Amino acid sequence: MKLIRLLCFVLVLPLWSSGQSALLDSYLQEAITNSDALKQLQFQLQRNLYALEEAKGLFLPAVNLTGTYTLAAVVEASPFRLAICSIQCTAP
State how far the Cα of 75 lies from the Cα of 83, in Å rounded to an integer: 15
Q: How many domains does one find in the chain?
A: 1
37, part of any domain: yes
46, part of any domain: yes
- Average pLDDT on 30-40 reads 86
Domain that includes residue 11, residue range: 2-57
21, part of any domain: yes
70, part of any domain: no
| pLDDT at residue 18 tops 80 | no
CA distances from 47 to 6, 7, 54 (A): 23, 22, 11
State how far the Cα of 70 lies from the Cα of 86, in Å rounded to an integer: 29
- Using pLDDT thresholds of 50, 70 and 90, give the confidence band for residue 51: very high
84, part of any domain: no
CB 3 within 8 A of CB 38: yes
| pLDDT at residue 58 tops 60 | yes
89, part of any domain: no
CB 32 within 8 A of CB 3: no
Per residue in 61-72, pLDDT (tens digit) is 888 888 888 876
